[in-house]
Amino acid sequence: MENAAAGRQVFNQKRVGLFLLDHIMEVFLIALIVGLTFGAHGFMTWDNWMNILRSNSLRGVIALGMTMVIIAGQIDLSIGSTVALAGVIVARSCRDLTPLGVDINLAAVIGMVLSLAVAVLFGWMHGSLVHRAGMPSFIITLASKFGLYGLAAIISGGYPIANQFPDWFNQIGGGRVGGQDGVPIAAIILIVAFLIVLFIMNNTTTGRATYAVGGNPESARLSGINVGKTIVFALVIVQVMAVISGFMTSGQVMAGSYSFGFGWELDVIAAVIIGGTSFLGGIGTVWGTLLGIVFMGVITNGMTLLNFDIYTQYIVRAVIMALAVLVSSYRAKVKA
């Protein structure tokens, strides 16, 4: 009887430990929010939280798409340049087509459609080269990063294209629902994107195939899963998300520039990894990424309110990312 009781106690302790490991991000986030509420003046206010959501929605939308890519065992380093390209294409379209008699609203829509078409093309190209040519996605997308950056610079002429968008386009990134103190439209777009990606990953065969391909591509192929199609789909989705972020970014500052989004890749990947997605593929959740986005936003905002200099903030974020990887590795070993 004593041995049985001791066994149950050990079993229950292990269950509690695994539960805490699975929800460690929630625990850290709650602790961080409580600490900043008492330690940082102005943190727990409506305006501050709306600013956190608005500023982190731009990278957050991309992080949701990147979650699919990393779960599939791939990576996309070109998303920052896609953000810039989307903005300059729309800005150039509005600037050059309106003098020809095209309505500015139609010109903006044409630019948006062209941006999405380019994103789909590059996503398809990345996926096809990975699957058919056996090229690493790291190398392919790194090349695209600089190629798209150069293309954005050429289209914009090397200078920002400002004040060319119709008012409704500017509202995508800078508008609010409910007036000046309302909810940022960018935050609403983030939540809608979250729900869409969550549905795909949890309720569709494509989502389940993404986990299988990232876990073991050969086993997935032998199980009848179209590995190439799954990889292409994930890489197209993240490019589309980057374009949407490009619309939001350019609308927020009312300009298109080739410099927008450059270097965002690491922030996006950090949010995904901190959210519990394994860099090796096959493991991760969309909910975890959303928590990672909020966590990164809260800690950056908190350090700003506490007057941390920007260099210290970089060090803190690096330490957090390293700890997240260690926790993820430890969790995988414990569950093995």
The residue among 290 and 15 whose pLDDT is bigger is 290
Structure tokens at 18: 């695994």
Helices 286-305, 46-71: crossing angle, 10 deg rounding? 140
Residue 250 in domain: yes
Question: β-strand 255-256 against 161-162: which pairing, if any?
Answer: antiparallel
CB 256 within 8 A of CB 90: yes
Q: What integer is the mean pLDDT of 124-128?
A: 95
Residue 13 in domain: no
Q: How many angstroms separate the CA atoms of 68 and 288, rounded? A: 12
pLDDT surpassing 80 at residue 324: no
**Structure confidence by residue, pLDDT tens digits, 260-313:** 998 899 889 988 988 888 888 888 899 999 999 998 899 889 999 988 888 888
Residue 213 in domain: yes
How does 171-186 read in b/e, with b if 16+ C-beta sit within 10 Å?
bbbbbbeeeeeebbbb
DSSP string of 158-202, one letter each residue: TS-EES-S-HHHHHHHH-EETSTTSEEHHHHHHHHHHHHHHHHHH
Q: What is the mean pLDDT of the chain?
A: 88
pLDDT surpassing 80 at residue 24: no
Residue 313 in domain: no
Domain extent, residue 104, equals: 42-262
At 251 the three-state DSSP class reads helix
**Structure confidence by residue, pLDDT tens digits, 214-243:** 988 989 988 899 999 999 999 999 999 999
Percent pLDDT > 70 in the chain is 91
Residue length of the chain: 336
Residue 193 in domain: yes
Residue 325 in domain: no
Residue 176 in domain: yes
Residue 304 in domain: no
* Domain count within the chain: 1
